[in-house]
Amino acid sequence: MHKYISIIISIFIISVAGYMVMHKKQQKRKERIKIDSIGMIHKSDQCGQEGEFFIEKGIMHPVTIDLSQKRYKGIVLYHGLDQIYHPKSWERFEYFSTYTVDNKGNLYLIPMPFISIRPVTFDLLKNLYRIDTNTGKLSIFMHFDDIKPSSTNPFGLNAIAYDCDNGTLWISAIDESDYQTQKGVIYHIDPKNKKILARFEGWDAFSLAVVKTNKGKFLFLGSAKDSGLYAMKITKNNLIMSKPVKLFDLSNPEEHIRKIKVKEKNRLEIQTIPFTYTLITESGKKERNYYDVYYDEIDDTWDILKKI
């Protein structure tokens, strides 16, 4: 009798263990389906145009937009073989971190704190700026009263992307966030009338890119909280915020994705820098790294190759 009881117990244990293994496999399968839900990445739309003022100002190809602050405050255009275009008036709004260009050549700029904070700095960080395609004039395009950078977190507006399909802008702010809590906001804006179409809370986007796949349109987000790249579905100008898809993490948790570009089918180029919600890291020596990221749609995997 005891012999049979031992056998029954053994069979029970084996059955439970088998069920747990199968359950874990099913969970992994579900996770892979979730990752695969973004589909095959299409080559990026190239709708950004050069400014109309380029011809009048004698700005020649090739043109490089530089926000590095190494020699010039704010923004500078390097063009031709060794030419520089940098009106002094472009310095009055201090420093910028990133930009996007629309299909008419208007250039939209995101501000950033840099090296030191002056009384006027926090107000400057509440604005979206634009260089007008016709005049080349840099001015405040939109002001956001609900953005409130502080000495605790000096960052206001933080990232931007242009949607070629409908001419709208996606913009993020992280002014109320800290190490523990994501309180970031993503704005969807119509620049034709400066109207905020939608406002989404709860994600700290350090970088943004509008990306198309064979399964729809997504907003890709490099996270300010970790080293991950996420995707959110765009449906009728709304983000499906309840189901963000984490595509991958970088191996170094101190790296955060600052720029995202779709280079070709299933291939991204990303730029990373350290970030900790403090001015010290952002204004000190930036260790920029670049990666080629390939999506294998057959194996449903990401290959991340650091550029030397």
Q: What is the pLDDT along the chain (308 residues), one digit of tens a residue?
A: 555 555 555 555 555 455 444 444 333 333 333 445 688 999 887 899 999 999 999 999 999 999 988 889 999 999 999 999 999 999 999 999 999 999 999 999 999 988 767 778 889 999 999 999 999 999 999 999 999 988 888 899 999 999 999 999 999 999 988 878 899 999 999 999 999 999 999 999 999 999 999 999 999 999 999 999 999 999 987 887 766 889 999 999 999 999 999 999 999 999 999 998 887 544 445 689 999 999 988 888 899 999 97
Q: Kindly state the tokens that stand for 199.
A: 């406002």
Q: Is 228 helix (H, G, I), strand (E, B) or coil?
A: strand
Provide the pLDDT for residue 24.
42
Cα→Cα distances 38→80, 86, 119, 232, 246, Å: 40, 41, 44, 9, 10
Rounded CA-CA distance 3/7 in Å is 6
Q: What is the pTM of this model?
A: 0.85
Number of residues that make up the chain: 308
Q: Is 12 helix (H, G, I), strand (E, B) or coil?
A: helix
Residue 1 exposed, middle or buried by CB count within 10 Å (0-12, 13-18, 19+): exposed
Rounded CA-CA distance 36/82 in Å is 46
Q: Is 65 helix (H, G, I), strand (E, B) or coil?
A: strand
What's at 61, amino acid-wise?
A: H
With b meaning 16 or more CB within 10 Å and e meaning fewer, what string describes 162-177?
bbeeeebbbbbbbbbb
Provide the pLDDT for residue 8.
52
Rounded CA-CA distance 209/213 in Å is 13
Q: Give the residue carrying structure tokens 């012999």.
A: 3
Where does 41-253 sit in CATH, by number? 2.120.10.30
Cα→Cα distances 287→2, 71, 163, 253, 275, Å: 68, 18, 29, 14, 10
Q: Give the residue carrying structure tokens 């979730």.
A: 34
**Nearest to residue 219, comparing CAs of 204, 205, 229, 209?**
209
The H or E element spanning position 54 is helix 53-57
Q: Kindly state the tokens that stand for 69.
A: 């602050």
